[in-house]
Amino acid sequence: MKVFLLLNIITIVTIAQHLNSQYDEIWKQWKLKYNKTYSINDEMKRKIIFMKYVTKIHQHNLLYDLGLKSYTMGLNQFCDMDWNELKTILFPNGFINHHPLWNDNNEELPLLSHKSLPLKWDWRDYGLVTSVKDQVS
């Protein structure tokens, strides 16, 4: 019994080290591709966020391979940012903070199948349409 337990522990540690080295290589390649550099204090925080995204993307793409999802996901230049940081870049005017359909706890729009759609929708009401500009100048 003790030998079996010891072998299991050794196997788990070996697999964990292998996965960690794979994450390290993906992390290094991603930083090179997007020209990312961090302070010593920030490196570990960014890597942890990145690894969570890699895991989420991998799990999602496995579901895609099984035919359970209709699209694939991939890495981009934002994979080192948490949701609050990403929100400030993608939605600088605070659209997310006051939009009635957004559920910030889930980070995704809720399913709307049980709600009726509005008869009228004007993006200007949410500050997402800019005024007309002269594209020549």
C-alpha dihedral sign at 92, 85, 99, 109: positive
What's the CATH number for 2-105?
A: 1.10.287.2250
H helix and E strand count, the chain: 4, 0
pLDDT tens for each residue of the chain, 137 residues long: 666 565 556 655 555 454 567 888 999 999 999 999 999 989 999 999 999 999 999 999 999 999 999 999 999 999 999 988 888 887 776 655 555 555 555 555 556 566 677 888 888 888 788 777 776 65
